[in-house]
Chains A and B, each alone.
Chain A
Amino acid sequence: MSKTILEIEGLRKTYGSLEVLKGIDCAVHEGEVIAIIGSSGSGKTTLLRCINMLEDFEGGTIRLDGEEIGYHAEGSMRRRKSEKDIARQRALTGMAFQQFNLFPHMTAEANVMLGLLKVKRLPKDEARAIALKWLDRVGLGDRAGHFPGQLSGGQQQRVAIARAIAMNPRLMLFDEVTSALDPELVGEVLQVIKGLAADGMTMLLVTHEMRFAYEVASRVIFMNQGVIGEDGNPREMFVAPKTERLADFLKTSSFN
């Protein structure tokens, strides 16, 4: 097995009195493309958000390349890291959101350049070259000067992916990146993700596109009520689910 990138142990997260993640254990290896499936409310988004500290969490540890994310031990106490350290750690994982979240007052190019300039502190021309390279890669080389409001949803999502990937993250997180798109725009975004997977990018991919998960993922994690219900390779899981929960879930999912 190749090198472990991400190690999650006993991850617990609550919102008030609602326990959303009830002890997640999981290791992600270099080059794995993991589809995370499961019904709405099962904790998929929360899991991704904990991995890059968009949410604080109460229990367990997450390690990226061996370094604990978000917290450190101080004696027997567990302390949140400084905002600056957390920012540095967040830059190691890229994230693409359902709602694209492009900065509307910046061109596509400026959106991609921002992190390169402010976080990586690259010189402007170097940052621009990287931005253009990735915009090209997602098929938007000719839209670099366009503002988000001038782009279709599919194009915006591709810029958002370029923005994340340009930071050269160790791990990419995708949270239902095609759910807000009109059906005819889904394909172009999935195509981009397929390309990244083929390049060997390690990724966790929350998706409702079961066919896509089946085709692209090297491994599937089924989330069920805050725990990992099943974890395995897509062929076995989709064809012969071990649990009734997964079988039921697959029955109600569409495979188009």
Chain B
Amino acid sequence: MGYTLNFAVVWRNFDRLLEGLALSLGLAVISILIGAAIGLAVAFALISKYRAASWPATAYVTLIRNLPILVLVLFAYFALPQMGVRLDKVESFVAVLAIYSGAYLAEVFRAGLLSIPKGLTEAGLAIGLTPIQIRTTIIAPLMLRNVLPSMSSTIISLFKDTSLAAAIAVPELTFQARKINVESFRVIETWIVASALYVATCALIAALMRRIERRLALPR
């Protein structure tokens, strides 16, 4: 093999990778925050006894979960403008990832909601709370604690999915790595460093989530 490793070019361009990583994280955070709000509303709709609520929610979740996210990304960026919806590439990617995470988080939240004893809702009703007050003060906080462990892996997946923004030239980490690769021909070095950044970030997210989980754990 005539290939000797030389990381010099990669280090010289390391700030570009970091900028890319920062953008990746930014995309993930905004999308997941919007997605969590969507997911929460949709989860309550999924378990609703009213078909007018549960049916559209089920349709949304099923549709999104059966579409590859890359197809959604390309559709939003290339097809929507033809239909008169004009978004820049970052906006269109955030919209897609938010809608996508909404569907996955809705499923996570739904499972969390189902494990909350009905008696708590009834105790809330019995002291005169309205159904909405019960959702915000009792159900949602308990559901969140239930789902933190499985939410951690969903969030990590969604963070990794930001790499698909490279397909529409959003300058996040994967896009920056590909550029450096093309400019420098240091193929192996570039992708090793980019991979290391992804792995380290995922490990950090997991650690952060475990911390939150411990912080919110109920004393017993």
Q: How far is the CA of A119 from the CA of B124 in the complex (A)?
A: 10
In the assembled complex, B128 has its CB within 8 A of some CB on chain A: yes
Q: How far is the CA of A232 from the CA of B126 in the complex (A)?
A: 28
In the assembled complex, B145 has its CB within 8 A of some CB on chain A: yes
Contact B220 A163 (CB under 8 A): no
When distances are taken between beta carbons in the complex, the residues of chain A under 8 Å from B34 are none
Contact B220 A149 (CB under 8 A): yes
Q: In the assembled complex, how far is the CB of residue B154 from the closest CB belonging to chain A, in whole angstroms?
A: 22
In the assembled complex, A83 has its CB within 8 A of some CB on chain B: yes
When distances are taken between beta carbons in the complex, the residues of chain B under 8 Å from A163 are 123, 127
Contact A84 B128 (CB under 8 A): no
Interface of B is mostly: helix
In the assembled complex, B131 has its CB within 8 A of some CB on chain A: yes
When distances are taken between beta carbons in the complex, the residues of chain A under 8 Å from B120 are 101, 103-104
Contact B127 A91 (CB under 8 A): yes
Query: A111-146: which residues lie under 8 A (CB-CB) from chain B?
Result: 114-115, 118-119
In the assembled complex, B85 has its CB within 8 A of some CB on chain A: no
Cβ 8 A contact of A167, one of B128, B145, B218: B128
Contact B123 A118 (CB under 8 A): no
When distances are taken between beta carbons in the complex, the residues of chain A under 8 Å from B127 are 90-91, 94, 114-115, 119, 163-164, 167
Q: In the assembled complex, how far is the CB of residue A102 from the closest CB belonging to chain B, in whole angstroms?
A: 7
Contact B129 A115 (CB under 8 A): yes
When distances are taken between beta carbons in the complex, the residues of chain A under 8 Å from B62 are none
CB-defined interface of A61-98 with B at 8 Å, one 1/0 digit per residue? 00000000000000000000001100110111111010
Q: In the assembled complex, how far is the CB of residue B48 from the closest CB belonging to chain A, in whole angstroms?
A: 14
Q: Nearest 8 A-B pairs (CB), nearest first?
A: A91-B128, A149-B220, A115-B127, A101-B123, A119-B128, A101-B119, A95-B126, A87-B130
| Contacts between the two chains (Cβ within 8 Å), count | 78
Q: How far is the CA of A99 from the CA of B122 in the complex (A)?
A: 11
When distances are taken between beta carbons in the complex, the residues of chain B under 8 Å from A97 are 119, 122-123, 126
In the assembled complex, A3 has its CB within 8 A of some CB on chain B: no
Q: How far is the CA of A84 from the CA of B125 in the complex (A)?
A: 11
Nearest B residue to A49 via CB reads B122
In the assembled complex, B41 has its CB within 8 A of some CB on chain A: no
Contact B122 A54 (CB under 8 A): yes
Nearest B residue to A102 via CB reads B123
19 contacts between A and B (CB under 8 A): A52-B126, A54-B125, A83-B130, A83-B131, A87-B129, A90-B126, A91-B128, A101-B117, A105-B138, A105-B142, A119-B127, A119-B129, A147-B218, A149-B219, A149-B220, A163-B123, A163-B127, A164-B127, A167-B127
When distances are taken between beta carbons in the complex, the residues of chain A under 8 Å from B124 are 103
Nearest B residue to A112 via CB reads B127
When distances are taken between beta carbons in the complex, the residues of chain A under 8 Å from B142 are 103-105
Contact B137 A118 (CB under 8 A): yes
CB-defined interface of A156-193 with B at 8 Å, one 1/0 digit per residue? 00001001100100000000000000000000000000
In the assembled complex, A152 has its CB within 8 A of some CB on chain B: no
Q: How far is the CA of A95 from the CA of B130 in the complex (A)?
A: 16
